[in-house]
Structure 1
Amino acid sequence: MYPGSAVLCAVLAIVLVSAGCLSAIFPEPVSVQAPTLTPTPTPVPTTESAVATVPVSQMALQLSDMPSDYILKDRSDLTYLEMDQMSHDLGWRAGYGVTYYRLDQEKYDMTELRQVIDLYPLANMNKVFDIEEEAITAQENGTTQIYELPCPNMGDRTFAYRKDETRGPLSITTYSIIFTNKDVYEELTMSGTTTDFEMLKTLARAATDKIQ
């Protein structure tokens, strides 16, 4: 063997041995695979119905919605025959009425709350509201005064008022809130010897929440 070949073989042997030692000390890095990300599904927005989807009777105030000293006086569906011609012309479809009252005979105190619910075509709701509001303000005369009151919005349109009537020696105060929400027209009225407009607003909000 030539001396040069012997030197070359010795160098190769040293390189191979060194490579083995280095690989033992510094192992090759292990490739780490990135975790697979599962895309979060995009929520699909639900479209709220433009008209009420519950029966008209389910939109009426229940005894559980009333103060504990009120009792049920009457509740019933309204019929087509008892509605006036203007309601027919506006497309009246269904209605419901409920009356509650509180009575304290010892104090000669009686308060009544009446809720009326009517369903009309959605396209006629503004006309229904305008006609009802005009009819209310037209009640003003020498013995009846109408005062508009501030009230939170109960739906699409809301009008609240106090009616003061003088009948001989008696002065009678009535609070009312009318509003439209979707295809529903409602009127809540409180009258009697003791009235509470703040309570009426609370009950009107409860009535609004029942329109679904």
Structure 2
Amino acid sequence: MSEERRPVHPHTPPSGAMSRTVEALRRAIRAMHHIHPEHRDASLADAAESLAADLEAAGTLGVRQESLLRHTRSPLSGVMNPLAPPMTSEYLGDRVVSTVTFNEAFQGPPACVHGGFVAALLDEALGRARHLTDRNCVTGSLDVRYRRPTPVNVELKVEARIEELHERKMLVRGAITHDGTVTAEAEAVFVFLETEKFNALVTDARNASRQQ
């Protein structure tokens, strides 16, 4: 029996021009990994400064954005975030299956993904399980176990499943695999929040950052 495919949470799709811009910036971030620190071509600095000024001038949105826009900014899966690898997800029955390829810009040890990005990937991928419940939640705890180095420049799969579902929280387990071999796994507790409480926490954070 085939598994039911659930729709991915919606977001505002980027224009063709913005998709090209984000992809070019991802290429630039990766390319910086291969440039020697003593490289002296000032034309690169001039071009980068000019592009940064153009992007700053085009910006019309603040930190606070409606959810359809905010979902495009995720540092792991955001289609408008050039820092995102990006990660994509499918909702299959009671599972969330995500795929991602980290390039060398995310490297820690040679040819290996930095452990901090491994943890962030597990937090993001396991957190996607909330869309199986249609409820807001935040990470209460994340216990990561590193089994072996996670390689860069290969497709990784993260499978997450809700193990326990309670009124106020859920327990989710998941693992990163490459070619069927587990590189890291995690157990996370996500705490459900009512919309009003979630919005209040976000407002407090925004006020602390002094950005609108």
| TM-score, length-scaled by structure 2 | 0.28
Structure showing greater Rg? 1
Q: Normalized per residue, which structure has more strand?
A: 1
| TM-score, length-scaled by structure 1 | 0.28
